[in-house]
Amino acid sequence: MNQYLFPLRPEAEYFFEEGCYILELLNDPADPDASVARARVPPGTTTRWHRLRGTAERYVILEGEGIVSIGDHPPVKVRSGDAVLIAPMTRQRIHNTGATDLVFLAICTPRFDLCNYLEA
C-alpha cells in the first residue's frame, strides 16, 4: 500500500460510544501529526461530553446544522461551512438540531488515539 494514498472506504464507518458514526479518512502511524475523520450525527442526537488529552480538535461542518458546546463557553449554532477549534482537554459535545444528518470533519493534532479520549 502507498504511504501517501488512503482510499475512501465507506463500509468502514462505525458507531462510536460518543453517540455518532465515524469514518476514519486518515489516521495512520505514517502520519502521527494529524488525523481526519468524518463524523455523522443523526437528527436529534447529542454526543456525550468528552475531552481529548494532549490533542487539539477541529470540526469543519460539511452538512446540516447543530449546536456545539465547548468548555464553559455558551453553546453556539453551527452550519455547513463553519469551523470550530477545540483546545486539548477542553470538554465538548455537539447536538444535531436539523432534520438531516449533521456531517463534519474531525481533524485532530496529533492524530486521534483512543487512549486520549476521556468522558467529561
- The pLDDT tens digits for 1-36 are 457 889 999 999 999 999 999 999 999 998 999 999
Alpha-carbon torsion (49, 24, 21, 81), positive or negative: positive
CATH number at residue 48: 2.60.120.10
What is the rounded radius of gyration, in angstroms, for the C-alpha atoms of the chain?
14
With respect to residue 35, please indicate whether it lies within any of the assigned structural domains: yes
With respect to residue 4, please indicate whether it lies within any of the assigned structural domains: no
- State the residue range of the domain holding 32: 23-119
Q: How many domains does the chain have?
A: 1
Query: Would you say how long the chain is, in residues?
Result: 120
Spatial CA neighbour of 64 closest among 27, 39, 87, 31:
39
C-alpha cell at 26: 486518515
**pTM higher than the cut 0.85:** yes
With respect to residue 11, please indicate whether it lies within any of the assigned structural domains: no
Alpha-carbon 107 to chain mean position: 7
With respect to residue 40, please indicate whether it lies within any of the assigned structural domains: yes
Tell me the Ramachandran region of residue 23: left when phi exceeds 0, alpha when psi lies from -120 to 50, beta otherwise.
beta
With respect to residue 90, please indicate whether it lies within any of the assigned structural domains: yes
With respect to residue 99, please indicate whether it lies within any of the assigned structural domains: yes
Residue for cell digits 465507506? 10
With respect to residue 14, please indicate whether it lies within any of the assigned structural domains: no
With respect to residue 2, please indicate whether it lies within any of the assigned structural domains: no
- The pLDDT tens digits for 75-110 are 999 999 999 999 999 999 999 999 999 999 999 999
